[in-house]
């Protein structure tokens, strides 16, 4: 894409500072960033310990107080009474937390967790919607040294039980329910707990929807009671100083394996990168209101809705629901009412807003507040870029920066940075300072010619990268570090090509994983789940481009007895319910189609290329 040159004046990291960062060696850069963004309780001895690759340890010997670095230090400044979190619930409830009140709630939660027996190294699973209590629980766990494991509430009881058995979490924090879900979250947790091969210590329940739920005495405790009862919310003895290379959190990712896979991220390295990339990409100052539409449970939510913005003292807007075609009016309402100035979202959401604005007369609105947009999850198309620039806002010089990162890297690695030399056109993407990204072929040979597709790899480790895969040492090495025989690279699993100017264009996943702003969906896992149904003989899941939605996931099923076609609606409902029950609503395909046969190759494999062509015709695309 070629667009008029942008004239953007940076507010934080200047263009000159950016160039200085780019010129520094990785070791010097990460030392500089650690000194800038972390207040150390004890200084580190070494920036990177690479004595046992691929197990890299960052800032070894250093110690820090997580609570102080995220919240506590702001209480000593004029930010004490500044809004830290503005929350809007799906039921239109509103709450605002200043840094003082948020810190007070986090301290009460820290005391409550310690009194319940939570200690350093314990896993605490969070099964919650996007509410302030989720943010509070994450920071409280991080402060204690407990490893929080956020898991999306759309997943099924069976999937939740598998993750609990895998991580052996001793404590769960959940809600009675969520306004955007018909089923009780506590009911899903109760069902999952019945399938465990061990007993949890406690389940903390937030009374969010005020619905009646089943609580087991002594094991289950209300969140409100925990943080308000003086016996629990005060007086705990706890050391908040932690080693720099301790685990901070675990996050489950989609995989082609049936076994759950959890990425483990370390403390100081992650916090350094979260703050650096938040400040670099979103250029936040004290007057900004920042809205990240990603769910808190995803790594984008962790990094750019909790740790990055709050550690920098920014004001975050958090919406419990999801913006879609049906509720686009809320999108404009919240931009205007809360005067959101910086937005981080996905092309999928922008496309929904674009479609709604073109078909609903009452949505002839634009935003006067936005000054910068970050876009991740997939590449923004030319028509969507133009619409966002000229229709979404009244600002004709609006930076729309494209961002790429993934769960395993802990944050953004490749992006367009507005206001620095070389990024006059904001659709350009290049590695951020300290990131040594390369394109290689299947054998690991470096590719550098424009238009030549390759595999995106990283030549050196980064502070925010996963430390390990939990309970999967072999998988960690084989999946990420031992793909190529001649050279050790970190394999991202994504493809890319260079354009004529040397900028990177990401082309998507190289495996059967669909990566979106709402997380990853494994096509293999969807197919295997559908095939467990007795009446389904064959199944194939594919992804096709869609003009208004960007792409859609379509699943084709061949039934064993085609007389079931007469019960099409009943069978369709059963397939949908089976997918939701087994692997969760997030894995539900956009379309489920029944067919008499699937196109095959000569070796009897599903011809997916031909199936995609058929699907495009059937969907009228």
How many other C-beta atoms can be found within 10 angstroms of the C-beta atom of residue 328?
21
The pLDDT of residue 208 is above 90: yes
Beta strands in 510-549 (DSSP E): 513-516, 519-522, 536-546
For residues 39 and 438, is the Cβ–Cβ distance under 8 A? no
How many other C-beta atoms can be found within 10 angstroms of the C-beta atom of residue 313?
19
Tell me the mean pLDDT in the region 467-491: 91
**Distance (Å, whole) CA 319 – CA 330:** 10
The pLDDT of residue 196 is above 70: yes
Confidence band, pLDDT 50/70/90 cuts, at residue 2: very low
For residues 193 and 169, is the Cβ–Cβ distance under 8 A? no
How many other C-beta atoms can be found within 10 angstroms of the C-beta atom of residue 51?
10
Of 239-253, 326-340, 558-572, minimum mean pLDDT range: 558-572
- Give the pLDDT confidence score for residue 135 in this predicted structure: 98
Range among 391-400, 413-422, 431-440 rated most confident: 431-440
Three-state secondary structure call for residue 4: coil
pTM for this structure?
A: 0.87
| Residue scoring higher pLDDT (383 or 143) | 143
Of 255-264, 367-376, 449-458, 466-475, minimum mean pLDDT range: 255-264
- pLDDT 10s digits, 245-301: 999 999 998 765 668 899 999 999 999 999 999 999 999 999 999 999 999 999 999
Cis link prior to 219 (omega < 30° from 0)? Answer: no
- pLDDT 10s digits, 486-538: 889 999 988 888 888 788 888 777 765 565 555 666 787 888 889 888 888 88
**Distance (Å, whole) CA 569 – CA 287:** 53
| Structural domains present in the chain | 15-322+399-405 (3.40.50.12780), 514-619 (3.30.300.30)
DSSP 545-592: EETTTEEEEEEEEEESSGGGGGGHHHHHHHHHHHHHHHH-GGG--SEE
The pLDDT of residue 238 is above 70: yes
Tell me the mean pLDDT in the region 167-193: 93
The token pair at 195 is 């399938």
């Amino acid at each position: 894409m070629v667009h008029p040159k942008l004239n953007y004046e940076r507010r934080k990291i200047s263009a000159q500072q950016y160039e200085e960062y780019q010129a520094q060696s990785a070791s010097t850069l990460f030392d500089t960033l650690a000194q800038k963004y972390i207040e150390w309780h004890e200084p580190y001895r070494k920036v990177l310990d690479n004595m046992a690759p691929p197990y890299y340890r960052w800032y070894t010997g250093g110690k820090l107080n997580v609570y102080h670095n995220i919240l506590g230090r702001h209480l000593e400044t004029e930010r004490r009474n500044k809004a830290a979190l503005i929350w809007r619930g799906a039921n239109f409830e509103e709450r605002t937390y200043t840094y003082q009140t948020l810190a007070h709630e986090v301290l009460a939660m820290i005391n409550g967790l310690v009194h319940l027996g939570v200690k350093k190294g314990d896993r605490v699973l969070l099964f919650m919607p996007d509410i302030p209590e989720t943010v509070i629980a994450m920071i409280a766990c991080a402060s204690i040294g407990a490893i929080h494991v956020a898991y999306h509430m759309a997943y099924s009881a069976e999937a939740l039980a598998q993750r609990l058995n895998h991580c052996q979490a001793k404590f769960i924090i959940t809600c009675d329910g969520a306004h955007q879900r018909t089923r009780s979250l506590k009911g899903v947790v109760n069902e999952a707990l019945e399938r465990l091969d061990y007993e949890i210590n406690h389940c903390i329940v937030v009374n969010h929807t005020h619905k009646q739920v089943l609580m087991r005495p002594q094991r289950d405790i209300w969140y409100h009671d925990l943080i308000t009862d003086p016996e629990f919310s005060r007086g705990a003895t706890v050391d908040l100083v932690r080693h720099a290379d301790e685990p901070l959190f675990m996050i489950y990712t989609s995989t082609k394996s049936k076994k759950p896979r959890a990425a483990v991220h370390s403390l100081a390295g992650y916090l350094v990168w979260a703050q650096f990339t938040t400040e670099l990409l979103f250029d936040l100052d004290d007057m900004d209101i920042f809205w990240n539409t990603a769910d808190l449970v995803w790594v984008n939510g962790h990094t750019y809705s909790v740790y990055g913005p709050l550690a920098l003292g920014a004001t975050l807007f958090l919406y419990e629901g999801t913006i879609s075609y049906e509720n686009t009016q809320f999108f404009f309402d919240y931009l205007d009412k809360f005067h959101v100035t910086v937005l981080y979202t996905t092309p999928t959401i922008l496309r929904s807003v674009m479609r709604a604005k073109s078909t609903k007369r009452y949505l002839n609105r634009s935003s006067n507040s936005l000054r910068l947009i970050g876009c991740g999850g997939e590449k923004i198309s030319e028509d969507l870029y133009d619409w966002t620039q000229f229709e979404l806002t009244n600002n004709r010089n609006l930076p729309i920066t494209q961002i790429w990162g993934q769960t395993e890297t802990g944050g953004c690695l490749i992006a367009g940075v507005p206001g620095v030399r070389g990024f006059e056109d904001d659709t350009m993407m290049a590695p951020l300072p300290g990131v040594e990204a390369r394109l290689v072929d299947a054998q690991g040979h470096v590719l550098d010619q424009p238009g030549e597709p390759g595999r995106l790899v990283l030549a050196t480790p980064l502070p925010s990268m996963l430390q390990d895969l939990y309970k999967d040492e072999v998988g960690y090495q084989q999946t990420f570090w031992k793909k190529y025989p001649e050279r050790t690279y970190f394999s991202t699993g994504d493809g890319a090509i260079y354009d004529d100017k040397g900028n990177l264009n990401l082309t998507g996943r190289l495996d059967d994983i669909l990566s979106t702003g709402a997380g990853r969906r494994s096509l293999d896992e969807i197919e295997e789940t559908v095939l467990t149904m007795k009446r389904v003989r064959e199944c194939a899941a594919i992804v096709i481009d869609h003009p208004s939605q960007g792409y859609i996931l379509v699943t084709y099923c061949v039934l064993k007895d085609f007389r079931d076609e007469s019960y099409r609606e009943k069978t369709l409902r059963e397939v949908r319910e089976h997918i939701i029950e087994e692997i969760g609503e997030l894995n539900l395909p956009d379309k489920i189609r029944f067919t008499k046969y699937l196109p095959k190759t000569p070796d009897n494999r599903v011809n997916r290329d031909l199936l995609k062509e058929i699907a495009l015709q059937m969907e009228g695309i």
